[in-house]
Each structure stands twice: as C-alpha cells, then as structure tokens.
Amino acid sequence: GDWGDSLFTGRDVFDEFKLKFPVTLELVIFSQIIAIILGLPAGIIMALRQDTWLDYTIRITSLAGLSLPSFWSATLLLLGGAYFFMWNPELGSFPITEDPWGNLKQFFWPSIMLGYISASTKARMMRSTMLEVLRQDYIRTAKAKGLTQYVVTARHALKNAFIPVITVIGITTALALGGSVVMERVFSMPGLGNFILEGMLARDFPIVQSITLFFAIAVVFVNLLIDISYGWFDPRVRYQ
C-alpha cells in the first residue's frame, strides 16, 4: 500500500521498509533462538537444583539481565567486545546470503545482548512453572514407580511446565521488537528500530506512524501464533 513519503528525505516509506525489515527480522530471530537455547535449560536446571549454589548463581545472572538498562549493557558489551576480543560490529548492510562473515560480525553482539535479556525472563518463568509441576501428585507417583529423574523430567514434567512458558516466549518475542530499537541504535544497524528512532528525532510522522503500525500488527500476529500453538502442547485445548 501507500505508506506515504518521508518528510525529511522524500523517499517512499514502504521502499525504505523493505530494505530495513530483513535486518530487524534477522536480529529478532537470532536473539530468540539464543534466548530459548540459554533460558529454557537454565530454568530447568534451577528447578532441579533448587536452593543450591547453581540455582542462586543463575538466578542472580538472570536478575541482572532484567534489571540492568539495555542501552548501558549493550554499550558495555560493545566496548568490551572491541577491547578484549577485537571484534567490532560491521557498519552497513551485510545480507547473510552475500557476506556470511560480515553478517556474523554485524549480528553477533546485538543478538547475544538481546538474547540474554529475553533468556532471563524465560529462565525465571521456566523455573517457576517447573517447580510447580514437580510438586504435583502424578510426579510423586512416577518417582514412586522407580522412574529415573531424566524420565520423570522429560516425559512427565517438562511438557506440562512448558505450556505457560509459551506465553512468555510470545511476549519476549514481541518485546524484542521494541528492544531492537536500542540494539540497532547502539550497534549502528540499519534496521527498523534505528529507522523509527531517526524518524522520531526528525519528526518524520509518516515513518513513525507506518513503523508503529507494523510493530502493532507484528505483536498481534505473534500472539495469534502462540495461541494456536497451545493446541499442540495441550490436547485439551483442541477438544474444547
């Protein structure tokens, strides 16, 4: 459709959107993959090792991810990565199909940072729901039958504990769109987050209105996918 023209550059907003959307999409996907890989196992470990030093360590680490300002953490990570690892993010656009190495250098640190923030929420929710499930009668019955801890966790506890976490995954994915504004600004990435921020600073209303509308539609779409996925994890939803 017609999204209008930028008041500052005179370019078509939709054409600019098509150029910048892949950057934000890739950042959100990479960060959520990292968040799931880190957050869910961390939550399970905390629940199985409740009130041990491992539980306290992961809880403090996840609390730091939720408490520290994202712009400060991202700036610190950028400076630390450049100083200790000599790894500076590439400036410009580097499609993964054309320049995989440049793409990796561009997305590595912002994906790690955004993934760490999202993983903190997932880990704490996974711990809470896992502890609740492990206290259920059917879990005690499974243990009384002589099943190993792995079988009890993998076959009986994990699937039931995972249902509330699905909602958190949807919420954190939607929040990652908002978090992309900070990450793209700090790491100078040419994505939608940086695009809308520049539009706000320049009072470029067609850009702000169009990208805000897109973010709102994206959040609704993600929540719809999460609601549909409930039926796969909980058959009772399908029967209802």
**Structure tokens that stand for 65 in this block:** 């991810």
**Arithmetic mean of pLDDT, 5-32:** 86
In a domain, 63, yes or no: yes
pLDDT, residue 33, reads: 92
- Structural domain includes residue 5: no
The domain of 28 spans 13-239
Residue 8 included in any domain: no
Interval 85-96 mean pLDDT: 69
End-to-end CA distance of the chain: 38
Contact (CB, 8 A) for 119 and 35? yes
* Between residues 81 and 53, the one the model is more confident about: 53
Domain membership flag for residue 152: yes
Mean pLDDT, all residues of the chain:
84
Domain-embedded: residue 75: yes
**Residue 120's CATH number:** 1.10.3720.10
What's the confidence (pLDDT) of residue 59?
92
Q: According to the model, what pLDDT value does residue 91 have?
A: 64
Confidence band of 230 (pLDDT split at 50, 70, 90) = confident
Domain assignment present for residue 83? The answer is yes
Residue 26 and residue 171 in contact, taking contact as beta carbons nearer than 8 Å: no
Tell me the average pLDDT across 130-144: 85
The average pLDDT across 53-72 equals 89
For CA atoms 76, 82, 85, 90, give the dihedral sign: positive
pLDDT confidence of residue 34: 93
Q: DSSP letter string over 140-192? A: HHHHHTT--HHHIIIIIIHHHHHHHHHHHHHHHHHHHHHHHHHHHHHTT--SH
Residue 56 has what pLDDT? Answer: 92
Residue with tokens 């993600």: 222
Report how far residue 115's alpha carbon sits from residue 187's, in angstroms, rounded to the nearest whole number: 15
pLDDT digits (tens, 9 = 90+) for 150-165: 888 888 788 788 888 8
pLDDT-derived band at 46 (thresholds 50, 70, 90) equals: very high
Note whether 230 and 215 are within 8 A (CB): no
Residue 38 pLDDT:
92
Instruction: Give the pLDDT score at 164.
Output: 82
What is the pLDDT, as a whole number, of residue 119? 92
How many structural domains are present in the chain? 1
Residue 4, domain member (yes or no): no
Inform me whether the pLDDT recorded for 39 exceeds 80: yes
| pLDDT band at 41; cut points 50, 70, 90 | very high
Give the pLDDT confidence of 117-131 residue by residue, as tens digits: 999 999 999 999 988
pTM given for the model: 0.84
* Choice between 57 and 163, residue whose per-residue pLDDT is larger: 57
Decide if 7 is inside a domain: no
